A and B are shown apart, each in its own frame.
Chain A
Amino acid sequence: MATDLPSLMQNVVAPLVKIVLLIGGLMTAAAYFVLLERWMAAWVQDRRGPNRVGIPLTRIKLLGLGQPLADGIKFITKEEYTPAHVDKPIYILAPIVILAAALAIFAVIPFGSVLPPIPGIPGLDKEPIPLLVAPGLDPSLVFVFALSSIAVFPVILGGWASNNKYSFLGGLRSSAQLIAYEIPLGLGILGVALVSGSIRLDKVIVDQAASGVWNAFLQPLGLLVFVVAAFAEAARLPFDLPEAEQELIGGYHTEYAGLKLLLFLVAEFLHMITAAFLIVILFFGGWHLWGLTGFSEESISWAQALLRIAVLSAKVFLVILFFMMVRWSWPRFRFDQLMALAWKVLLPLGLVNLVVVAVMVEYGGTLKSQFGGGVYWIFAISGWLALIAAWVVAALVSPSHDDNTPRRAAQKFDTEAEFYRTF
């Protein structure tokens, strides 16, 4: 690696600045999304949310905007308690790993398009600056997958190390849930990879911007599968079994308190933000908006660069609002329903989407020479037909009223010894 000033600026200083900006922004965003979520809950339940905390020692309330700051200070001044019955190293490691993994995913997620070159700064004055910490990493979606799989480990490690039955059950449940929904997640992304010919997130956006057709229009079935799986991976409400309060106290973080608990909670919000970013980038064109943002990455003005950041953020914000609305709209699944949805519904639907998209991509070139731009209409219509057909078939094969019938009467055992004798 060359060590002259321009390359040092380009390879070390610029990424460092981006990292600091991103981590600061994400932590602040996570804190304020908690406030937003509470406001949302208040709005849905027709009550006032947190609206008291403003500037301390005055009567200025600022609509409660001081709440996240107050919560943070409260968390830091709480006792950093480690119970005596836990496996100490693993118990302390788990929250660190989950937060580090949740943050590090953003190394490959673009948070804008590019900035124009800044004259006067060596190394940054020639080429546009990508708004991405690790630009040029080809298999960036593989990196996202790897880190989101790592998120399973702290959950099960924390649940195991806590040495508490509820934590243990929560850890088991969530590991089963997270790995079960990883498969539909991968299937949803396969369709996008096929259309773009790349699993680089910035390239996926540029592709959609160049054609002006977002993937959501062409493969709604893939979007459906991906969104449902993303909800489950982020453990948001219809799928929040890992910490179903009514059944498991706090789930895998029952024994955690103070800042260790904070790390788990922040990581959970970061998972939701990641899911929102991925949904927007893969299916809703990232920073692209027709007639506003253009599609070239080579020549770009400052106004356009900022506009693209604004468009991307606005889309992500809308998706997060959707996440929060869903939380107050659906009741939680039962565990067998959860597993049935992953394996019996989403997996076949994902396969159907994959085949439909594969056929479209394979014969799209031939069709394009005949129909020109009209080929997108053919793609979109077949995509939507696939969605409707798959939905109808899924509804006929496993009707929703079937889903709620009482479970087969479980065998009853009088003593524990009797239970173990059956093995």
Chain B
Amino acid sequence: MQLFLPILMFVAASTVLAGGLLFLGGLIGPSRAGKVKEMPYESGMDPIHDTRRRFDVRFHLVAIAFLIFDVELLFLYPWAVASRNPQGIDAAVSAGLIGSRGLVFAEVIVFIALLALGFVYALRKGVFQWR
């Protein structure tokens, strides 16, 4: 709790600042509405069609690829931190929880190799090709 209290205070302070600025602007600034002013701005053209329509599936593909690689990266973080940390892998080895350092390293290399394999597969499939 004591660890996160300053963060909560910071988030609260910055939200209040942002909201307060908007409120202040609403108080001070003028307010005049108009028919043309309320139209969507499209460089002077009268807008045609609705905005909410189907959009390109490529964006969906990027999102999926992101999810896969980001989760794989998240798996690497605990190892990266534990690797040199005195309370990390070395402590676990001397406590007898893991066989040896080399085993962990080999597993991670295999994991990265699998990740690279998946990357090559996606690349050959043309997932990253923006057509």
Binding site for B on A (CB under 8 A): 1, 11-12, 15-16, 18-20, 23, 75-81, 83-85, 92, 95-96, 99-100, 103-104, 106-108, 133-134, 136-137, 142-143, 162-166, 168, 172, 175-176, 179-180, 182-183, 186-187, 190, 193-199, 249, 254-255, 258-260, 262-263, 335-336, 339-340, 343-344, 347-348, 351, 354-355, 358, 361-362, 408
B31 touches A96 (CB 8 A): no
A96 touches B18 (CB 8 A): yes
Q: A383–B112 Cα gap in the complex (Å)?
A: 19
Binding site for A on B (CB under 8 A): 1-7, 9-11, 13-15, 17-19, 21-22, 24-26, 28-33, 37-43, 47, 49, 51-52, 55-56, 59, 62-63, 65-66, 69-70, 73, 76-77, 80-86, 88, 101, 105, 108-109, 112, 115-116, 119, 123, 127-128, 130-131
Neighbour of B17 across the interface among A23, A260, A348, A362, CB < 8 A: A23
A358 touches B15 (CB 8 A): no
Most buried by B among A164, A193, A260, A335: A193
Q: Specify the main secondary structure of chain A where it touches its partner.
A: helix
A351 touches B40 (CB 8 A): no
Neighbour of B38 across the interface among A84, A175, A180, CB < 8 A: A84
Q: A162–B40 Cα gap in the complex (Å)?
A: 8
B42 touches A104 (CB 8 A): no
What would 12 A/B residue contacts be, using CB atoms closer than 8 Å?
A: A18-B6, A23-B14, A143-B7, A162-B40, A176-B59, A186-B73, A190-B73, A194-B84, A259-B24, A336-B131, A351-B119, A355-B112
Q: A18–B6 Cα gap in the complex (Å)?
A: 10
Neighbour of A259 across the interface among B21, B32, B41, CB < 8 A: B21
* A355 → B minimal CB distance (Å): 6
B128 touches A340 (CB 8 A): yes
Neighbour of B83 across the interface among A166, A351, A361, CB < 8 A: A361
Most buried by B among A20, A107, A254: A107
B42 touches A166 (CB 8 A): yes
Known contacts A76-B28, A183-B73, A190-B76: A104-B7 contact under CB 8 Å:
yes
B66 touches A182 (CB 8 A): yes
B21 touches A263 (CB 8 A): yes
A180 touches B70 (CB 8 A): no
A95 touches B88 (CB 8 A): no
B130 contacts across to A, CB distance below 8 A = 335-336, 339-340
Q: Specify the main secondary structure of chain B where it touches its partner.
A: helix
Neighbour of B10 across the interface among A19, A79, A258, CB < 8 A: A19
A15 touches B9 (CB 8 A): yes
Q: A104–B7 Cα gap in the complex (Å)?
A: 7
Most buried by B among A76, A80, A344, A351: A80
Please, which residue of chain A has its CB at the minimum distance from the CB of B60? A176
A23 touches B25 (CB 8 A): no
Please, which residue of chain A has its CB at the minimum distance from the CB of B128? A343
A104 touches B14 (CB 8 A): yes
Neighbour of A197 across the interface among B3, B5, B84, CB < 8 A: B84
With contacts A133-B6, A183-B70 known, what are 12 further pairs, Cβ within 8 A?
A16-B9, A19-B6, A20-B13, A80-B22, A83-B39, A100-B14, A134-B6, A179-B66, A197-B88, A198-B81, A336-B131, A358-B108
A78 contacts across to B, CB distance below 8 A = 25, 29
Known contacts A103-B17, A255-B41: A80-B25 contact under CB 8 Å:
yes
A16 contacts across to B, CB distance below 8 A = 9
B51 touches A164 (CB 8 A): yes
A340 contacts across to B, CB distance below 8 A = 128, 130
B131 touches A408 (CB 8 A): yes
B77 contacts across to A, CB distance below 8 A = 142, 190, 193, 199
A196 touches B84 (CB 8 A): yes
B7 touches A137 (CB 8 A): yes
Q: A340–B130 Cα gap in the complex (Å)?
A: 7
Most buried by A among B10, B17, B19, B84: B10
Please, which residue of chain B has its CB at the minimum distance from the CB of A72? B21
B83 touches A80 (CB 8 A): no
B18 touches A339 (CB 8 A): no
